[in-house]
């Protein structure tokens, strides 16, 4: 045993990479279906949207790029599906320069194909991307058409039914920012104090810890923290709307719930290596001359 | 069996090229890295032109100049920024940059005060021994961390112990943040492997 642990100290790290690769790949091929427990921050977000009335409008801001899509895509899709089921209208924008718009287009197209009754311009609208996120938010606080004169297809906002009666962010019932980096924080620290519009954030796991402070201070309604938060939201949606299970049980599509299998197995592997590595280190120190 | 489209093959090749760095540095990785940097920059320029400059500046000026003449000012300021590439009149760009920086300082100042400092300070004003049993720990944590960051005076025996406690609070929060970071990075790997398996390998195998 001692010799085995000593050999571990000199282990080529590429073996660890291989273990990590296999621990993530195998659950994708053979889903395990490990249980997902929900947290209060995700339940609050879910309940807030559930409490909105049919015909209310929320703004969904795609503030992330392809690099964090595995975490953020499932959040955006889950919330849009919930909106479609609850007849809540949604306005889509993208403020992240590198790929935010493409991800928004893909997510909207996917959800619209799942809910063919959704009508562009009436039930939802995609306003596209705008550069300079902070200045865009400032402008939207007073005048959305000033920041987005047209939708993605070039239709002026005055001719879009969903935008009737929505001149500024004060007239939307919620901002849901699916975010990586600083843009999500600006919705909380800049838009919320100016317009009073409630904010829910779906950050990447890397940025999630800092948002707990905003959650505790009441500046955020709820939060979906990383892939775990997205998986929790998927669970809540499936529990409330059993017919939605068809989107989350397929083996040929990616879901956060499925991703959490890989996460859990990989975390166990990392824990195992931490234990083995530290044991080997302590044993080697004990045997070394003082 | 339907083979995946050419775009999926290219994406798969670039994904494997990027991941190949984990084995060792190689030309495929460098190619993927350079291509990514170049494509990102090109995409950023294109999307800003198409989604921001055309609908918010060029089209309003072209369609109704009389009503939108004020857009000439930000348009000129934007152009002035590029004057730094002309050495003789490079100083012109400083005026545009000064306005740009001033705007964002003003915006950020309000944001920090109203959006961060005030609500967070208000949050820690609560009964220490109230209904929330964690409030005491919360207040102790805030105060001890603040003492740790108080560098204006040399620490005495008491403040040194308090700041030591602050370090413990900081370490716990760093540990939580690191755990989340690991989860985030693994999520990226899950995303790439999902793509390789579901979108590339499965169609090739006809699954």
pLDDT tens-digit series, residues B108-157: 998 999 999 999 888 888 887 878 788 888 889 999 999 999 888 788 88
Which candidate from A24, A69, A217 shows the least CB-CB separation from B123?
A217
**Total domains in the fold of chain B:** 3
Q: Assign residue A89 a region: left if phi > 0, alpha if psi is -120 to 50, beta otherwise? A: beta
Q: For chain A, list residues with pLDDT below 70.
A: 250-251, 287-290
Least confident of A247-256, B21-30, B173-182: A247-256
Shortest CA distance to A257 belongs to which of A238, A270, A240? A238
Handedness of CA A208, B107, A197, B50 (dihedral sign): negative
Q: In the listed set B63, B90, B114, which residue is the last one of a domain according to the structure?
A: B63
User: What residues 175-214 of chain A have any CB closer than 8 A to a CB of chain B?
Assistant: 186, 188-190, 192-193, 204-206, 208-210, 213-214
What is the per-residue pLDDT for B41? 94
Cβ neighbours around B57 below 10 Å, total: 16
Residues A146 and A135 sit within 8 Å (Cβ to Cβ): no
Residue A53 phi/psi, 5-degree rounding, is -90, 150
pLDDT digits (tens, 9 = 90+) for B50-63: 989 999 999 999 99
Q: Are residues B144 and B200 in the same domain?
A: yes
Cβ of A209 within 8 Å of Cβ of B180? The answer is: yes
What is the per-residue pLDDT for A245? 81
| Closest-approach residue (CA) in chain A for B191 | A70
Q: What confidence tier does B21 reach under pLDDT thresholds 50, 70, 90?
A: very high
Interhelix angle A226-240/A40-51, rounded to 10 degrees, is 50
* Over residues B170-195, mean pLDDT: 93
Q: What is the 3-state secondary structure (H, E, C) of B67-125?
A: HHHHHHHHHHHHHHHHHHHCHHHCCHHHHHHHHHHHHHHHHHHHHHHHHHHHHHHHHHC
What is the per-residue pLDDT for A3? 75
Residues B49 and A99 sit within 8 Å (Cβ to Cβ): no
| DSSP line for B175-198 | HHHHHHHHHHHHHHHHHHHHIIII
Shortest CA distance to B99 belongs to which of B65, B130, B74, B69? B74
The ipTM of this complex is 0.86
What is the per-residue pLDDT for B165? 95
Domain ranges of chain A: 2-31+259-287, 40-250
Cα–Cα dist A287/B206, whole Å? 56
* Over residues B68-92, mean pLDDT: 94
What is the per-residue pLDDT for A288? 67
Residue B1 has pLDDT above 70, yes or no: no
Q: Are residues B58 and B82 in the same domain?
A: no
Cβ of B184 within 8 Å of Cβ of A68? The answer is: yes
pLDDT digits (tens, 9 = 90+) for A210-243: 999 999 899 999 999 999 999 999 999 999 999 8
Residue A130 phi/psi, 5-degree rounding, is -140, 140
Q: Are residues B136 and B206 in the same domain?
A: yes
User: What residues 61-120 of chain A have any CB closer than 8 A to a CB of chain B?
Assistant: 67-71, 97-99, 101
Domain that holds residue B89: 69-125
Under CATH, which number does the domain A40-250 receive? 3.40.50
Task: Report the predicted TM-score, pTM, of the whole model to 2 decimal places.
Answer: 0.90
Q: Are residues B136 and B119 in the same domain?
A: no
pLDDT digits (tens, 9 = 90+) for B32-51: 999 999 999 999 999 999 98
Cβ of B55 within 8 Å of Cβ of A150? The answer is: yes
Residue B29 has pLDDT above 90, yes or no: yes
Shortest CA distance to A241 belongs to which of A85, A36, A16, A19? A85
- Residue B48 token pair: 């800003």
Cβ of A14 within 8 Å of Cβ of B23? The answer is: yes
Q: Are residues B139 and B207 in the same domain?
A: yes
* Over residues B13-29, mean pLDDT: 95
Residues A181 and A187 sit within 8 Å (Cβ to Cβ): no
Residue B176 C-alpha, separation from nearest chain A C-alpha, in angstroms: 7
Q: Does B112 touch chain A (CB under 8 A)?
A: yes
| Closest-approach residue (CA) in chain A for B21 | A14
Residues from chain B contacting residue A14 (CB–CB below 8 Å): 22-23
What pairs with residue A41 in β-bridges?
Answer: none
What is the per-residue pLDDT for A289? 64
Cα–Cα dist A139/A137, whole Å? 5
Residues from chain A contacting residue B180 (CB–CB below 8 Å): 205-206, 208-209, 225-226
């Amino acid at each position: 045993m001692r010799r085995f642990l000593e050999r571990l100290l000199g282990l080529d790290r590429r073996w660890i990479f291989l273990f990590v690769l296999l621990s993530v790949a195998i659950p994708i091929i053979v889903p395990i279906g490990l249980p997902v427990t929900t947290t209060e921050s995700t339940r609050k977000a879910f309940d807030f949207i559930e409490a909105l009335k049919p015909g209310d409008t929320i703004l969904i801001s795609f503030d992330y790029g392809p690099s964090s899509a595995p975490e953020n895509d499932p959040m955006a899709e889950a919330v849009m599906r919930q909106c479609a089921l609850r007849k809540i209208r949604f306005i889509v924008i993208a403020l992240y320069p590198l790929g935010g718009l493409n991800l928004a287009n893909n997510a909207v197209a996917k959800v619209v194909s799942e809910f063919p009754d959704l009508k562009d311009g009436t039930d939802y609208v995609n306003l596209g991307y705008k550069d300079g996120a902070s200045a865009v938010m400032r402008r939207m606080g007073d005048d959305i058409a000033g920041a987005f004169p047209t939708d993605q297809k070039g239709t002026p906002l005055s001719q879009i039914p969903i935008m009737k009666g929505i001149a500024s962010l004060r007239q939307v019932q919620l901002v849901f920012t699916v975010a990586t980096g600083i843009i999500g924080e600006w919705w909380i620290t800049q838009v919320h104090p100016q317009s009073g519009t409630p904010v829910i954030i779906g950050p990447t796991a890397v940025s999630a810890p800092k948002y707990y402070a905003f959650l505790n201070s009441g500046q955020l309604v709820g939060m979906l923290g990383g892939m775990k938060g997205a998986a929790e939201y998927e669970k809540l949606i499936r529990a409330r709307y059993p017919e939605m299970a068809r989107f989350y049980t397929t083996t040929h599509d990616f879901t956060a719930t499925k991703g959490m299998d890989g996460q859990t197995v990989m975390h166990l592997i990392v824990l195992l290596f931490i234990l083995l590595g530290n044991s080997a280190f302590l044993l080697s120190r004990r045997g070394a001359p003082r | 069996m339907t083979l995946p489209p050419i775009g999926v093959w290219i994406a798969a090749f670039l994904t494997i090229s990027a991941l190949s760095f984990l084995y060792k540095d190689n030309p495929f990785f460098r190619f993927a890295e350079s291509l990514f940097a170049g494509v990102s920059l090109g995409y950023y320029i294109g999307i800003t032109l198409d989604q921001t400059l055309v609908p918010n500046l060029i089209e309003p000026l072209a369609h109704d100049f009389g009503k939108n003449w004020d857009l000439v000012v930000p348009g000129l300021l934007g152009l002035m920024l590029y004057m730094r590439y002309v050495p003789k009149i490079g100083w012109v760009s400083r005026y545009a940059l000064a306005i740009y920086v001033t705007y964002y300082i003003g915006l950020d100042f309000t944001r920090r005060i109203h959006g961060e400092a005030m609500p967070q300070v208000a949050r820690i004003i609560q009964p220490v021994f109230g209904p929330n049993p964690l409030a005491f720990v919360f207040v102790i944590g805030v105060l001890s961390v603040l003492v740790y960051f108080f560098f204006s005076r040399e620490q005495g025996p008491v403040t040194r112990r308090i700041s030591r406690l602050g370090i413990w609070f900081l370490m716990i929060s760093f540990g939580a943040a690191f755990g989340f970071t690991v989860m985030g990075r693994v999520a990226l790997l899950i995303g790439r492997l999902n793509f390789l398996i579901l979108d590339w390998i499965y169609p090739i195998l006809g699954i």
